[in-house]
Amino acid sequence: MYPRIFTLLLLFAAMPLQAAQLTLSVGDISAPSFAARGVTLSLPLDGSAELRLDELSVAGRHWRKVRVHCAGFVLSTARLECRQAKLNAAPDLPFDFSYDFGTQRLALELSAGKDERWRVDGDFHDAGWRVNVQLRNAQARRLATLLPPEQPLPTQGLLNGMLQIRGDQDGLRRVQGAVQAAELAFSDAAGLHAADKLAGSVQFDAVRSRSRWDWHGALDWQRGELFWQPLYLKGAHSLTAAGSWDGGQLQVAQAELNRLGVGRVELSALWDTAKNSLLACDLHGSDLQLAPLFADYLKPFLVDSVLGAATLSGRGDADWQYRDGTTQALNLTLRDASLEDGQRRFALRGVNGTIPWRAAAATQAAVSFDSGALWGVPLGSSQLQLAMHGLEFSTPTATLPVVDGSLTVHDFSLQRGDGGWRWNFSGQLAPVSMPALSRALGWPEMSGALSGTIPQVSYDGREMRVGGALLFRVFDGTVVMTKLALADPFGPTPLLTGNLDMRELDLGQLTRTFAFGSMEGRIDVSVQDMALVNWQPVQFEAKVASSPGSYRKRISQKAVQNISALGGAGAAAAIQRSYLSFLQDFGYNRIGLSCVLRNGVCAMDGVSRKNGGYVIVEGGGIPAITVMGYNRAVGWNELLERLKRVLQDNTQVVIQ
């Protein structure tokens, strides 16, 4: 507080009489956190004064060409007074300043318009000094020049209230304040921390005894909006808190946060102000509304995760205990909660349960849900018991109703590894009827049932794999799936790979299901080296062939036409010209069609080669028909289009 004056030049310039003035030129003044260069005080003889500073630095802030003009200036042994003063940086805020050397009282009053007033009164007479600041309709934007420019700076709004600072020879002793804000707006340069139309009040009181401050305060944020990347919050928040600060650690002994529509959260915490880190925290919330809690405070941090498009609802209690840089305990109670994915990939409804998680102890969670869905497959009501030990979760057995069947899960385990969360289980699928499943998924209604043993399903943080073979029955035949893997299951382009072998499917059921035109017989379908990206095939080697054995083999004319249409131009030219076109169905010896899909092109073949083409339906019996294909390479999309036309509306099929 004692500026070291490097140079002091007093110039008494001989001026012409009509412009006589006294000019004090104080070169540079510097002190810790304070520096002024090129300081000049001019005192014209009309009673005014002008103070000029080429550069001014206070606490890291810098200003250039600062000028204060006092319309009335008095300097005597008793007092210093500057009336109707103007600062060039804030010409619209004239002020009066006075300091009484005897009483050591300071008064500064800034006012603008008829309403705005900033008043500072200082009394330094006693050992216990004090400064009072009163604000009346004070424009918050004026504080912007005083604050560090990298912080959010106020751009508008009015402040009313008071600030009282008391101190003694040891420094600050007590700071009290009560300020109301209206229509307050602030923003940082990038607009990532900003607020608009804030209304509310803040009160605080901090008292020092030796090196420790005890404080309490209250914040009532009534209206307005705040964006604090990535959070966006609206008013109706209130906070009361009390604690202490010893210069190194800030203790929040107790705090209570209320948010209208969410509930009340109580917390205590210990913050290391030097290291800027949380040392300990206890948080407790009862009967919280989960929908706004999740949407406003959690989801913004989860935009890149599986929960990025989810909504949560219901009610819940939470108890969180944080020590030594990590969560030590988390108790969650859910009451009638629901989790829904916006992209309809998963859902759980009517969730109830308690999850008493501990970082270093074994506990049990009990959770039940009324219904759910996974990739559109409906799940029924279930009750789950989960053993928890740190980041390892397991359950020996659980049964999930799936459509009208069920999945019994054995030895489920989930743990957090280096590559993220990993899990695995084995299971048993009790018959899920295909008609019900196809209805649930919006597919054409298929007959049969899905059942079988699932040797092992595992997820390594990136890819879901089914070990062994999945076996189930559809269309009176069997389906075996092997080497099934799904990479990036919840990503934008899931990749499904595997092999599929179907044996002895009933062609009658199959063709009725897909309105293809009636066929009788049995077929085997083999799809090897299959890859689906975003559920669309990108490669496979597929083969459809009549099953071995003896059974009735008939094909309707409509089916012949449709197969021909799939085969492309020229495939069924023979039918139209022959008398066979008058017959409704024919016998056949065998059927075969294969497609090797690579790079969007299907390389096609049939049961055998003949006359530059390939045989798709080899005739046999009476009357018999042979259907040929001639296009060996067909674009996959073109083939899909043909199939769609065939399945949608048979009358549109053009046979060339």
Interface residues with another protein (CB under 8 A)? 187, 189-192, 194-196, 225-227, 229-232, 300, 303-304, 308, 488, 491-493, 495, 532-534, 536-538, 600
Q: Which of 433, 438, 412 is nearest to 423 (CA)?
A: 412
User: Which residue lies nearer to another protein by CB, 5 or 298?
Assistant: 298
Terminal-to-terminal C-alpha distance of the chain: 101
Rounded to the nearest whole angstrom, what is the least distance from the CB of residue 286 to another protein in the complex? 28
Rounded to the nearest whole angstrom, what is the least distance from the CB of residue 644 to another protein in the complex? 15
User: Which residue lies nearer to another protein by CB, 189 or 361?
Assistant: 189
514: left (phi over 0), alpha (psi -120 to 50) or beta: alpha
Angle between helices 636-648 and 557-567 (to 10 degrees): 160
User: Which residue lies nearer to another protein by CB, 536 or 656?
Assistant: 536
Residue with tokens 């059921």: 509
User: Which residue lies nearer to another protein by CB, 101 or 535?
Assistant: 535
User: Which residue lies nearer to another protein by CB, 304 or 418?
Assistant: 304
Rounded to the nearest whole angstrom, what is the least distance from the CB of residue 423 to another protein in the complex? 23
Cβ-based neighbours of 332, under 8 Å, separated by 6 or more: 316, 317, 318, 354, 355, 357
- Alpha-carbon distance 522 to 526, whole Å? 14
- Alpha-carbon distance 656 to 653, whole Å? 10
Rounded to the nearest whole angstrom, what is the least distance from the CB of residue 160 to another protein in the complex? 24
User: Which residue lies nearer to another protein by CB, 90 or 189?
Assistant: 189
User: Which residue lies nearer to another protein by CB, 147 or 192?
Assistant: 192
- Alpha-carbon distance 433 to 449, whole Å? 4
Chain-centroid distance, C-alpha 491: 15
Helix, strand counts (H, E) of the chain: 6, 44
Rounded to the nearest whole angstrom, what is the least distance from the CB of residue 231 to another protein in the complex? 8
User: Which residue lies nearer to another protein by CB, 195 or 434?
Assistant: 195
User: Which residue lies nearer to another protein by CB, 370 or 638?
Assistant: 638
DSSP symbol at 276: T
- Alpha-carbon distance 311 to 337, whole Å? 10
3-state secondary structure of 419: coil
Residue with tokens 């080497």: 483
With the CA atoms of 352, 355, 356 and 361 taken in that order, what torsion angle do they form, in degrees rounded to the nearest 10? 150
Neighbours of 70 (CB within 10 A): 21
On the CB side of 413, CA atoms within 13 Å amount to 10
| Length of the chain, in residues | 656
Rounded to the nearest whole angstrom, what is the least distance from the CB of residue 642 to another protein in the complex? 17
Rounded to the nearest whole angstrom, what is the least distance from the CB of residue 223 to another protein in the complex? 13
Torsion angles phi and psi, residue 80, rounded to 5: -115, 130
User: Which residue lies nearer to another protein by CB, 224 or 452?
Assistant: 224
Residue with tokens 């990298």: 150
Structure token pair of residue 539: 């490669």
Structure token pair of residue 100: 């009484």
- Alpha-carbon distance 654 to 646, whole Å? 10
User: Which residue lies nearer to another protein by CB, 157 or 629?
Assistant: 157
User: Which residue lies nearer to another protein by CB, 291 or 538?
Assistant: 538
Rounded to the nearest whole angstrom, what is the least distance from the CB of residue 493 to another protein in the complex? 4
Q: Determine contact, residues 281/268, Cβ cutoff 8 Å.
A: yes
User: Which residue lies nearer to another protein by CB, 229 or 453?
Assistant: 229
Residue 416's identity, in one-letter code, is R
Rounded to the nearest whole angstrom, what is the least distance from the CB of residue 294 to another protein in the complex? 14
Neighbours of 419 (CB within 10 A): 9
Rounded to the nearest whole angstrom, what is the least distance from the CB of residue 230 to another protein in the complex? 5
- Report CA torsion sign: 648, 481, 461, 458: positive
Rounded to the nearest whole angstrom, what is the least distance from the CB of residue 105 to another protein in the complex? 44
User: Which residue lies nearer to another protein by CB, 122 or 494?
Assistant: 494
3-state helix, strand, coil in the chain (%, to 5): 10, 65, 25
User: Which residue lies nearer to another protein by CB, 325 or 492?
Assistant: 492
On the CB side of 555, CA atoms within 13 Å amount to 29
- Alpha-carbon distance 264 to 509, whole Å? 60
Rounded to the nearest whole angstrom, what is the least distance from the CB of residue 181 to another protein in the complex? 16
Rounded to the nearest whole angstrom, what is the least distance from the CB of residue 191 to another protein in the complex? 3
Rounded to the nearest whole angstrom, what is the least distance from the CB of residue 308 to another protein in the complex? 7
Please, which residues bridge with residue 58 across strands?
A: 34, 61
Rounded to the nearest whole angstrom, what is the least distance from the CB of residue 25 to another protein in the complex? 43
User: Which residue lies nearer to another protein by CB, 154 or 452?
Assistant: 154
User: Which residue lies nearer to another protein by CB, 194 or 591?
Assistant: 194
Rounded to the nearest whole angstrom, what is the least distance from the CB of residue 483 to another protein in the complex? 18
Residue with tokens 């069924």: 572
Torsion angles phi and psi, residue 563, rounded to 5: -65, -40
- Alpha-carbon distance 259 to 250, whole Å? 24
Q: Determine contact, residues 318/285, Cβ cutoff 8 Å.
A: yes
- Alpha-carbon distance 11 to 18, whole Å? 19
Rounded to the nearest whole angstrom, what is the least distance from the CB of residue 382 to another protein in the complex? 31
Neighbours of 497 (CB within 10 A): 19
